[in-house]
Structure 1
């Protein structure tokens, strides 16, 4: 069994709280304060979960240069005061950065009892397969 340290537990909480604030900031018509705090908490939570060196290596790989520039550029644009434009850049960078993780996440969610049944519906499974980029999927 994998041991989870207290710092990693704190990181999961920070990242979750950051994502919650990002969602709330979008729902409240792109409130720049909530979006800025959510971005900072998400990045700090990610650094706590996987470590500072691994976070740095993840973001600053040569083949992820454009994604990293868009993601952090979006954060800077949000901090400057243009939340809608910043979130568009940020979303584009996020999709490019984490696109390799999407098929793994979709396969995991398909194994969750209620969500898996929902994702395996004919129309929804086609959409999710297209989004995740998986050419074949694991049947539950």
Structure 2
């Protein structure tokens, strides 16, 4: 079996910030983002990978769902993080198997991250979780 989320990478668009009370949004690419935002996105990616790649039954189910979805076993997620460092909302990208999105949501919503987000960071953070065959899951 492939092990999902040995590596979680930030997508090209670091964040999508929606101004309170408006429908307008801003996007920032990693090249445009402050270094503190990039460092935080990397931290979130590592901590999400630990949870999503774990041995919890929900994580195992998520890996099965992503692997069965097709040739490119990737799930793209948007994460909203509160000022206290708790993941408050998780959405799967369009086209993600609904059960896989729900499995990811059940694992990540409520997660207390080790750091609070830096001031002014645009949310959500978007990450892509990719299944990689490490051989370890096959007993090699």
Higher relative contact order (CA 8 A, sep 6+): 2
More strand by proportion, 1 or 2?
2
Normalised by the length of structure 1, the TM-score is 0.27
More helix by proportion, 1 or 2?
1
Normalised by the length of structure 2, the TM-score is 0.27
